[in-house]
Structure 1
Amino acid sequence: MILLRSVLFNLLFYLTTFVLMIAFMPIFLLPWRWGFWILPIWCNVNLFLLRWVGGVKSDIRGLENLPEEGCIIASKHQSAWETFALLAHLKAPSFILKRELRAIPIFGWYIWKLRQIPVDRGKRSAALASMARSAEEAINLQRHIIIFPEGTRRPAGAEPKYKYGIAHLYSSLSCKVVPVAVNSGVYWPRRRFFRFPGTISAQILPPIEPGLDQKAFLARLEHDIETASNALFEEAAAATPDNIIVKEARERQAQTTQAVAQASS
């Protein structure tokens, strides 16, 4: 059953995304600010397919912590789920994403039209400066900027690896940063074909106010996201103890604990 549902969901996920991109192409004739109404539609279609075809529910908590003004949304990144699940709740969202995505036919056109923020990860200093300029423009327009502080998807239960870019943005923009914790990797694991039944949960945490130094901010951000993500993982583990991803995460955590113990001995 999981195999069949996963096959159908994956087919419909990519097919409906393609169909919607074609159907929404008239927005290219409109001013860019008039195009964001399509994102909640794409979001809700995906959540519907995930629930009723893939057998995976979605639970988003803490929406009251989203500021009305422009801010940075810093989310844990474990799957494709967090690239669309929050879109219906954000203001003119702008993702910070790798530059290569702009080269994807049609999809890349939408990245350009909706003024997302591409980053050339091969040019660190120039990329940080360009990212900060584009992000400042977005904040001034009261947009919500979405960034994945670890830069890429990480497996559920893996050791965190936060990068400097989010701290640079925080100090450059002097705006609120909203941490978001997830457990999506338990049910939509990276580089896996299967979608495992259960409930993906996201916790939108209270914003971190501007004013901290970069080191203190990064420590606070990692603590808040990882603490909440670990709690969500434990919820998922209790609800679906036979999930293979939970078992793999437990093994990974045990190996990490053993390695730390050996290093300190």
Structure 2
Amino acid sequence: MKYAIQWVRSLVFNLSMYAAMPVLAIVYLPWAMFSPYGAVAACHAYARYVIWTAGWMVGLKSEVRGTPPTEEALVAAKHQSFLDILMIFDAIPHGKFIMKAILLYAPILGQYAYRIGCIPVNRGKRGAAIAKMLADVEKGDKLPGQLVIYSQGTRLAPGAKRPYKVGTAVLYEQMNQTCYPVATNAGVFWPRRGVYRKPGVAVVEFLEPIPPGLPKDQFLAKLEAEVEAASDRLLVEAGFVPKEG
């Protein structure tokens, strides 16, 4: 019975989350059309709405640890859930994500993502896209901010392992900016698939920043070791028990 009640609460929360997206998109549209700051404000409003409603609708609280960057920086994060996207975005002033180019065609999401400066990339063409972004920021055509990349390239279930892609190291070298590693346990409470949301405290933790200038191999090894160790610690804290076999 307890599970059934939580499942119904989760369903109502999910419906509320999806309904809020077009409503906020319309409310902020006039501002967003004339200024990218309006689009940033809309996305922050949506992230905060989802985080807030998750807290009282399904008992899923959110906690951000460490010191998020306020300056231009690279954010290299663990990705387990849609929730960690919202938590990271809400924690930084102007987040923009490396995203698959096809997402530009998603209603509302694609238009606002482009407006806030997310970088759509096709396979094998990330370097050119990043070079253009850096040039546009320098010319004043794009807002400066914090570029978020998921170093494993996809969302993974808690406890799942996948090598960190060299693209993050190339980006670190190309941007020549401080990198902020981010760990999370959000997938324990908000899984990749399904309706159910588990009560608890989801955490994203900004770890000690990595200054620019390290060799790519050294940087990537350091990033992976630190993010994986911190994420495993957060999983234990959340009571996660990995499945055997």
Structure-2 change in CA distance of 1:193 and 1:234 (3 Å): same
TM-score, with structure 2 as normaliser: 0.90
2:166 counterpart residue number: 164
What is the CA distance between 1:199 and its match in structure 2?
Answer: 0.9
Partners of 2:135 and 2:213 in 1: CA distance:
17
- Unpaired runs of 5+ in structure 1? 238-245, 256-265
Paired positions, count: 238
The Cα of 1:107 is off from its aligned counterpart by: 2.1
Deviations 1:134-163 (A, max 9, x none): 256458854111111111100101113211
Q: 1:71 to 1:223 in 2, by over 3 A?
A: same
Q: Distance in 2 between matches of 1:129 and 1:197?
A: 42
CA distance 1:191–1:174, change in 2 (3 Å): same
Structure 2: 5+ residue stretches without partners: none
1:91-240 alignment to 2 at 5 Å?
91-121=93-123, 124=124, 126-135=125-134, 137-138=136-137, 142-237=144-239
Q: State how far apart, in whole Å, the 2-side matches of 1:146 and 1:49 are.
A: 24
User: Which residue of the other structure, out of 33, 36, 58, is the alignment partner of 1:32?
Assistant: 36
Which of these residues, 50, 54, 60, is aligned with residue 46 of structure 1?
50
Contact 2:32 2:38 in 1 (8 A): no
Name the structure 2 match of 1:7. Answer: 11
C-alpha contact 2:28 2:38 (8 A) present in aligned 1? no
Instruction: Please report how far the alpha carbon of residue 31 of structure 1 lies from its aligned counterpart in structure 2 after TM superposition.
Output: 2.5
Assess, with a 3 A threshold, how the Cα gap between structure 1 residues 217 and 136 changes in structure 2: closer, same or farther: farther
Distance 1:114 1:46 in 2: 19
Q: Deviations over 1:142-188 (max 9, x none)?
A: 41111111111001011132112111100111110000000011001
Amino acid at match of 1:133: K
* Structure 2: distance between partners of 1:229 and 1:26: 40
2:175 is matched by which residue type in structure 1? L
- Amino acid in the other structure paired with 1:130: A
Residues of 2 paired with 1:210 and 1:217: CA distance? 9
Flag the 1:137–1:223 CA change in 2: closer, same or farther, 3 A: farther
Counterpart position of 2:82: 80
Shift of 1:55: 1.6
Stretch of structure 1 that moved more, 37-46 or 180-189: 37-46
| Identical amino acids, percent of aligned pairs | 34
Over alpha carbons, which structure has the higher Rg? 1
- Code of the aligned partner of 1:250: K
- What is the TM-score normalised by the length of structure 1? 0.84
Residues 59-110 of structure 1: per-residue CA shift (max 9 Å, x gap): 11112xx333200111100000122112233122211111111001222111
* 1:204-223 C-alpha deviation (Å, 9 max, x unpaired): 10110111111110000001
Alignment partners' CA distance in 2, 1:76 and 1:165: 15
Residue 25 of structure 2 contacts residue 42 of structure 2 at CA under 8 Å; is this kept in 1? no
C-alpha distance in 2 between matches for 1:169 and 1:191: 30
